[in-house]
Structure formats: C-alpha cells, structure tokens
Amino acid sequence: MADNNQPETPGVSRRDIFQILGAVPAVAAVGAHSHMHTGQEEPAVAKGPYKRQTFDDHQWEMVKVLCDLIIPADERSVSASQAGVPEFMDDWIAFRTEQDGNMDLRAEIFGGLMWLDHESNRLFQKNFVGATADQQKQLLDRIAYPGKAAKDDSPWVAFFTQFRSLTVGGFFSSKQGVADLPYLGNRAVAEWKGCDPKVWAIIEERMKNGYKGVLEAKPWSA
Amino acid sequence: MAQVKAAPKTYDVVIVGSGAGGGVAAHVLSLAGAKICMLEAGEWFDCSKDSKMFEWPYQVAHRGAGTKYKPWGAFDATLFGGWQVPGEPYTTAPGSDFMWWRARMLGGRTNHYGRISLRMGPYDFKPYSRDGKGFDWPITYDDLAPYYDKAEELIGIFGSQEGLENTPDGKFQPAPAPRGYERLIKSACDRLRIPCIPSRLAILTRPLNGRPACHYCAQCGRSCSANANFNSPGVHIKPALTTGNLEVRTGAMVREVLVGPDGNATGVSYVDKKTRTEVEVRGKIVVLAASCCETARLMLNSKSSLFPNGIANSTGLVGKYVMDTVGSAVSGFLPILQDLPPQNEDGVGGMHLYMPWWLYKEQAANKMPFARGYHIEIGGGRGMPGEGVLGGYPTQFLGGGYGVEMKQKLRKLYGCEVHFSGRGEMIPNEDSYCEIDPHVVDQWGIPVLRFHFKWSQDEILQAKHMQETFQQIIEAMGGTVTKKDRPENQWGIAKGGEIIHEVGATKMGADPKTSVLNQYCQAWDVKNLFITDAAPFVSNADKNPTLSITALGWRTSDYIADQVKKLNVKV
C-alpha cells in the first residue's frame, strides 16, 4: 500500500510545520521527522517495562495466545501481542473497573478465560495454552460466531465478543494498527484539496454499478 | 469578616468571565480605552503551549479515553471542568434531568467548542410573531447584522454565499473542499431535496491578523497551538492585553455583585481560590459573562436590602427560561465506502458540509407537527482511531470470526461510518429554569444552582423528525443504520444541558416588567450592570450560540463605550 492515493495531501515535515505556524525555532527544526509527533517520546505505552494490574501469570499467557489467535501477524502488520494489545487490555480492564465502580468487565473476562481452561481440560486434558492449534480452533469456533453458537454457550459467546472487541480496538488504535488501516492523518497539511478525485471516481462508479467486496453495496436507483 | 481585603483601585469596568462573552467585552472596551479587571474562576490557559495537538491515543494512558473529570478524554482542551467540577456541585429538582458543563479556565468553553458559527436569521428574532410560541427579541436581525460582520471579520469564519431562507450569509473566508463521505452525503441529500452546503466554522482557511491558516489536523477540540481557530484567549484577550488596559485575575471565583446606596453596582466580591480569602474589586461598570447559568447564579446570590431577591431581579425572572438545544443522533455504515484507496480525511476540526433547516415553507403552511427547525451536523470517515475502533465490527458485519481472514476484512471496512446529529431550536417554557438550592453550597461557601428542566412536544417531535430523516439519508446511500433511537426513549432527545448550548436566564426585552435587561443587555434595575454571555438570549434558534454571543456582546460593549462618553452611566 506504499503508493496509496494521497498525493494531494502530503505529510509536512517538522520544519514545514514551524513555517506553517509562523515561527521557525532553529533548534526545534533540527530534529525533523517526516511524521509530526509534537516532540513526544514514543512509544508512550509505558516508560520502562509494563507493570500488570489485572491478569496473573497464567492469565497473562492465555491473553497473549488468545489475542494472537484473534489478530495474527500477516503480510501487512504484526500480531496483536506484538502491538502491545495484552498490555492495553490489562490496563483497560483496571481502568474500567476504577471508572465504572464495578468489576463487571473484569468478571466477564476472567470468567471466560476460566471456562476456556475448564473446557479445554474436559475435552483435551490440557489447559487452553497447551492445547494444539486444532483443539484451540475447535473451542473458539464454538463461541466466535454468535448466530451459529449453541444456546448453552451463550455466556462464552458474550465473553469472546467482548474479548475480541477489546483486541480489535486495542490493535487498530495501536501505533502498528494505525499504520495497518492506514489512518493517514494527525499531521500538518500545507494545502487541503478535499476528496482525491480518483477516489471520488471510484465512489461514483459504485453508485452506478454497485460493488461486491466484504459486504455488498447495491447500485443507487436512478 | 477580617479576611476581606479591599483593593484600593477602581477600574472602569469589571468583567466576570473570560469566555466568548467576557472576551469580546474585554476586546472592545480595552481598545476603547477603558481600564478593565477581568476575573476568571479557572487557571491561565495558553493554547500555544498547553495544546495536546498531534499526540496519538497510543501515547497516553487508556488511549486517552474519557474519565469522570475529563469526560471528553485526555486531549480535550477543557483544562479543568466538565459535567462535574470537583467541589462545585449543582443539583436537579425531582423529575428534572439536567447536565451542566463548566470549563474552569481562561477562555472557558471557547477552547474546545465545535466552532460552528451560524448567524441567527430574521425569523429567529421574532419567533413569537411567527408562531405564537415563546417570545420576540427586542431587536431585529438588521440591528445585529453589522455586529455579525465585525465578529466574523475578527474571528475568521469560513463558509459560502448561498442566499437561503433565514440562513444569512456572512463575511466568509473560503470553505474547505468536502471529504469523500461528505460528497456522498450531499449526493443523497440532493436526491432527497435537503440542502447540503459548506459548513460555517470559526477556523481560518486564510491567515488573519497574524494568525496562520489551518493545517488540517482535525483536532480543534484539543485547542490549536497555532491559534488557527477561534478561542477567546487567542483572539480577544491577547490583543486586549497589548493595549495595557486589561488586567486578568485567574483563580477568582466571584461570589457577589456589590451594590452602593444608590442601587448601582460598585464592583464584585470574589474568593481567591489559592488563598481562600475574599477579595473586593471596585468598578464603575460591571459586566457579567460567567456563562448563562453561572451569571444567573451570581445575580441570585447578590442579595442586599435594595435587592432582596438578587440583583436586578425585581421581576423575579432571573434564572427563568433556560434553554438548551434539541439534540438527537443516528449512525450508519456505508458499504459503498469499503476498501477504497486510503486518503487523509482529517480536514478541519469539524464537518466541511452541513444541512441548514429547509422546511420553512411546510411549517408556514401548517404541514409540520412541530414548531421551529433544526440543522444537521455530520461526521464519519477515516478519523483518528481510538480505543473502540472496529471493535464491534466482527459481530455487526461479519457474523463473528477471528484470525487472518477477519483481520483482512476489518481493515477494508475502516472509514465506512457516518454520523448525523440534529441541532434544533427549543422553545422557552415555564418548567425550565434554575434557582438557588436552599440547602447546598460549594467549597467556596457559595450557594449552588438547582435545575428544573422539561422538553415540550415541539422538541420531542423534532427529535422524531431527526431520527426519521437521518435514517432516510443513510438508506438513500445504501447504508445500514447502526445506532438510532426509539419513541419510548423520546426519540433519543439529549438531556437538558447535554448539548452545552444553555442560553436564557436573564432575558432581554422591550418591557421592564417582563424582562431583566433592555435591548442593550443593560439591567433595567441597575444601570451600570450589563451581561454579555448567552443569558440575555430570548430564544435559542438552531444556530449554535457562540457567534451570536460575540455579536451581541460587541453591540453591548459599543453601547457601554458610547454611554460612558455621554455620561449616561455613572463613571
């Protein structure tokens, strides 16, 4: 995706932004990056190693495995755990527990992890992390498709939906996830030109003829 | 009280508050040569240093998510404040839902607001004459038009000349070109005969008075370190300070307007938050701009033998007819936008297109079930990804799943969301007002406000119309409605105060018996007391209040300067 259609809205260098902002402090302009970051250090997920607030050692291993089953690495980007999603999730659950004044989210996640181990032990005599890829898949397939799942599995479907939502959101809002999408903003743009005409042409073509991608877009009626 | 320290100096003008209303008064009056003391309850704020511009959600704790005391997230420009201010409560009467946003900082809410800048139109000043509801203003559009011109030329507003009914055009800078999803929405609106035109926002697209044009990072709500958008510290207060006529005191929580034996205001008394001591500041003229409800609170708390019900409140109308804006929202998902070549869709911090109210003719012909109109605000596209991005999509659109295939589908669905918010006119009513709670005080010992609030059927049916219209637009684009509201939920109408457009509470009028202020926002009862925030508003058209605050405040300030010259006001 290196040559994506955005020549109309080029990123502006750090030097350029100071010119745009009308002040050119020579010192500041020295550390020029092609991508503006306000001079904040990064990654700012944490200074020093992350300190867990929510998961114990066993849960931590499970969370990492489960995150990567949901978002594995592919040709475009790293896996969820490589993007810091387990750390995000550990922090997020602690944060919500404090903000919401209850442990509902924590209980749902802990309970679901517990079930994965229980069920894995019952069926395969192994914890979830130690189960084979096929065995893990067998369990996840039961709870990953709400419309097809057995009624008795509904609490674990709810758990997985929640866990997947945190993994997906955590991943695509991480530095690596933002680059994967890609989100191309949060930078200074010298001249704003609006929608790229080439993109608009595609939209217009789809209005006429529809488009079948991940989902179907029907043509607009005349 | 031994701790009271009287300041020796008497200023020409004391201004309470530093937001849109206080800012414009300080700007106009300092340039006219008045010696001014401005009091702000919060701390100093300088957007050139304190803005969070360009930070990423992944660089801060919890991806910058909102908290109880930072409800709009870590990057929001509101330094201190929100729906709750620690140590400064408010209450609501049984059966009333009201939310009160207070921004305790220099510039108040102008630092983070949406910059939507719409002129009220000719109809909006005479609503009672048109449909028999609410009240007429004591002024006309023509009275305020020259001040809209001045305000727009100072602030810098982009827009386009359209000539639409009751939607006056202004002195505009060029509008930025629309984003992809906005052009699509416009195509659908063209088919539905809903006007969709360039929005009107207080963001520079051309340099102005030493301020640079926008650099299109879309994060105006964080405040702009380049000062390319309107905020009162950067646009009003900074030039006022250079005159040498303005002194700003921060951390000054005003308790009371002081009154002399002749019934005129002599200044104010405030709590210096740092030292917790009471300080008096003397002024020949007092201008209140603490924000609509805070101004009413201050007046109601300013009791004296001359004004036992609060200053300038002989009518008992101070606090009455508080209005907010009718809000209701619908979200949609547009498959036509999936898997497009990526582009930067940031633009300015807000919509590039909007839809002004369009059914005036139908309303005039009695074909509409509610009075007054709304405009439509839009959002969507490839915005900055926050913590929740795409999280619900597997269940919503893919039937579930996990793994590489899901990951690859998800990224193709990024940027397909659209959001529609209606912003409509509320008609003032007897059941919506604020008063002093007799039992509760804040940590400064100042009695707090108790809110009463009720929507009428006009507003609820307007919310219904919003829901149905937005759904229609989404479906016209082949989209799926992902979030809407239902009749049992009063069509998702926002709580009172939730849209943060409180106006009213000290209405202006032509008759001293039925209004608190005259047409120059001067108290009928106290000739040297003026109000320049939104408290004087008589109605709350669907035109977001900030631009009108700055225009009306400018007109009031011109009048003050003129009266001082003619010595009609005690100086």
Q: Write the pLDDT tens digit of every residue in A75-89.
A: 999 999 999 999 999
- pLDDT per residue as tens, chain B (571 positions): 445 565 579 999 999 999 999 999 999 999 999 999 999 999 999 999 889 999 999 999 999 999 988 999 999 999 899 999 999 999 999 999 999 999 999 999 999 999 999 999 999 999 999 999 999 999 999 999 999 999 999 999 999 999 999 999 999 999 999 999 999 999 999 999 999 999 999 999 999 999 999 999 999 999 999 999 999 999 999 999 999 999 999 999 999 999 999 999 999 999 999 999 999 999 999 999 999 999 999 999 999 999 999 999 999 999 999 999 999 999 999 999 999 999 999 999 999 999 999 999 999 999 999 999 999 999 999 999 999 999 999 999 999 999 999 999 999 999 999 999 999 999 999 999 999 999 999 999 999 999 999 999 999 999 999 999 999 999 999 999 999 998 999 999 999 999 999 999 999 999 999 999 999 999 999 999 999 999 999 999 999 999 999 999 999 999 999 988 875 665 5
Q: Compute the nearest-CA separation of B192 from chain A (Å).
A: 13
Beta-strand relationship, B374-380 and B252-259:
unpaired
Q: Kindly identify which residue of chain A lies nearest to residue B336, measuring between CA atoms.
A: A217
3-state secondary structure of A54: coil
Task: State the Cα–Cα distance between residues A70 and A47, nearest whole angstrom.
Answer: 27
Q: How many domains does chain B have?
A: 1
Residues 6+ apart with CB under 8 A from B288: B16, B17, B257, B295, B298, B299, B529, B530, B531, B532, B533, B535
Q: How many CB pairs under 8 A join A and B?
A: 254
3-state secondary structure of B270: strand
* 8 Å CB contact of A217 and B335: yes
Judge contact between B550 and B263, C-beta under 8 A. Answer: no
Judge contact between B510 and B138, C-beta under 8 A. Answer: yes
**Which DSSP category does A174 fall into?**
S
* 8 Å CB contact of B343 and A38: no
* 8 Å CB contact of A200 and B68: no
Q: Is residue B205 part of a domain?
A: no
pLDDT value at position B144?
98
Most A CBs within 10 A among B47, B48, B50, B58, hence the mutation to make, goes to B58
A198 in contact with chain B, both atoms CB, cutoff 8 A: yes
Single-letter code of the amino acid located at B498: E
Per-residue three-class SS string for B43-82:
ECCCHHHHCCCCCCHHHCHHHHCCECCECCCCCCCCCCEE
Q: How many CA atoms lie within 13 A of A157 on its CB side?
A: 19
Chain A residues touching B203 at Cβ < 8 A? none
Chain B residues touching A12 at Cβ < 8 A? 215
- Region A190-196: mean pLDDT is 96
pTM of the model: 0.93
Q: Is residue B252 part of a domain?
A: yes
* 8 Å CB contact of A217 and B407: no
E-state strands within B389-471? 417-424, 433-441, 447-452
Task: State the Cα–Cα distance between residues B112 and B99, nearest whole angstrom.
Answer: 17
Chain B residues touching A88 at Cβ < 8 A? 63, 387
* 8 Å CB contact of B390 and A8: no
Chain A residues touching B404 at Cβ < 8 A? 72, 74
Q: Is residue B25 part of a domain?
A: yes
Q: State phi, psi for B38 to the nearest 5 degrees.
A: -105, 135
Over residues A124-141, the pLDDT tens digits come to 999 999 999 999 999 999
* 8 Å CB contact of A164 and B183: no
pLDDT value at position B248?
98
Chain A residues touching B215 at Cβ < 8 A? 12, 17, 20-21, 188-190
A215 in contact with chain B, both atoms CB, cutoff 8 A: yes
pLDDT value at position A24?
33
| Minimal Cβ distance to A6: which of B343, B395, B398 | B343
Reference B24, options B523, B537, B562, B549; nearest CA is B549
Q: Is residue B261 part of a domain?
A: yes
pLDDT of residue A65 exceeding 70, the answer is: yes
> Where do we find the tokens 């900055």?
B384
Residues 6+ apart with CB under 8 A from B261: none
pLDDT of residue A22 exceeding 80, the answer is: no
Task: State the Cα–Cα distance between residues B357 and B375, nearest whole angstrom.
Answer: 5
- Please report the sign of the dihedral spanned by the C-alpha atoms of residue A101, residue A102, residue A105, residue A106: positive
A178 in contact with chain B, both atoms CB, cutoff 8 A: yes
pLDDT value at position B565?
82
Q: Compute the nearest-CA separation of B88 from chain A (Å).
A: 20
pLDDT of residue A31 exceeding 80, the answer is: no
| Minimal Cβ distance to A22: which of B212, B219, B410 | B212
Q: Is residue B507 part of a domain?
A: yes
| Minimal Cβ distance to B335: which of A21, A192, A215 | A215
Q: Is residue B257 part of a domain?
A: yes
CB count within 10 Å of CB A121 equals 14
pLDDT tier, A36 (very low <50, low <70, confident <90, very high otherwise): very low
* 8 Å CB contact of B382 and A72: no
| CATH number of the domain bearing residue B519 | 3.50.50.60
Q: Is residue B466 part of a domain?
A: no
Q: Is residue B378 part of a domain?
A: no
| Minimal Cβ distance to B55: which of A12, A40, A213 | A40
- Please report the sign of the dihedral spanned by the C-alpha atoms of residue B24, residue B27, residue B30, residue B35: positive
Beta-strand relationship, B252-259 and B480-483:
unpaired
* Domain assignment of residue B264, given as a range: 1-46+73-156+230-313+502-571
Q: Kindly identify which residue of chain A lies nearest to residue B397, measuring between CA atoms.
A: A215
* 8 Å CB contact of A95 and B61: yes
3-state helix, strand, coil in chain A (%, to 5): 55, 0, 45
CB count within 10 Å of CB B103 equals 26
Residue B50 is encoded by which pair of tokens? Answer: 């304190």
* 8 Å CB contact of A173 and B57: yes
A195 in contact with chain B, both atoms CB, cutoff 8 A: yes
* 8 Å CB contact of B338 and A38: no
